[in-house]
Amino acid sequence: LEEAAFQLQQIFRIDISIALNILGIESMRAGHCRVAFTCFKLAADRGYSKAQFNVGLCYEHGRGTEKDLEKAGFYYCQAASNSHPMAQYRYARYLLQHGPGSHWDRHHKAVTLLEQAAVAGITEAQAYLGVFYVRGLQAQEKKGLKYLLLAANSGDAQSRYHVGVCYEQGLGVQQNLAEALRHYRQSAAAGNRQARERLRA
């Protein structure tokens, strides 16, 4: 009986968090940013990862509260530790740009989070890792091309452009100018300015 009561409490707690988060989203859409932030914060403090991510966004962009990157990082970290893929991406970016601790530790943790987000299908993480591995200090061009192709196949025109660069320069793949042109054309058709300039060149 005690176990059943505990389970009911957990379900009730989760349901309230979901409801608060939805109310926060609707309030944000209606332009009531302070109300939205309050709803997100209440749900986040109950451990709901989607709300933790939304609180992070509010702090990062100053919506409904003062802009505070440190607090944004804290809430992204909480959501990321609860396996929220977009929070993993945002927290990784926070670590690389603003995070505390040694550069090596931040860098290592950020790459791990970016890889988790990329595997979960977050296009931004795939694109970021692609460039990171192709152009990084310890370049792993094949790995970078793999991530760039994932992002490009999800419709990211910038990543499609970078795939063209890889084929043009032979980064992680055998040099193939015809294949490079194909990727540049697709990227340009999707509105990428760099690809259009490369095609003219």
Q: What is the pLDDT along the chain (201 residues), one digit of tens a residue?
A: 677 666 656 655 568 888 899 989 999 999 999 999 999 999 999 999 999 999 999 999 999 999 999 999 999 999 999 999 999 999 999 998 886 777 778 888 999 999 999 999 999 999 999 999 998 766 789 999 999 999 999 999 999 999 999 999 999 999 999 999 999 999 999 999 999 999 988
Q: Which pLDDT score, from 0 to 100, does residue 6 have?
A: 63
Q: Which pLDDT score, from 0 to 100, does residue 167 have?
A: 96
CB neighbour list of residue 62: distance below 8 Å, 6 or more residues apart: none
Q: Which pLDDT score, from 0 to 100, does residue 201 have?
A: 86
Q: Which ranges in 31-138 belong to alpha helices (H)?
A: 33-44, 49-61, 69-81, 85-97, 103-119, 123-135
Superfamily in which the 130-200 domain is placed by CATH? Tetratricopeptide repeat domain (1.25.40.10)
Say if residues 138 and 149 touch (Cβ distance below 8 Å): no
Say if residues 159 and 151 touch (Cβ distance below 8 Å): yes
Q: Which pLDDT score, from 0 to 100, does residue 19 have?
A: 87
Q: How far is CA 23 from CA 27, 48, 71, in A?
A: 6, 14, 22
CB neighbour list of residue 156: distance below 8 Å, 6 or more residues apart: 123, 126, 127
Q: Which pLDDT score, from 0 to 100, does residue 123 have?
A: 96
Residue type, 151: A
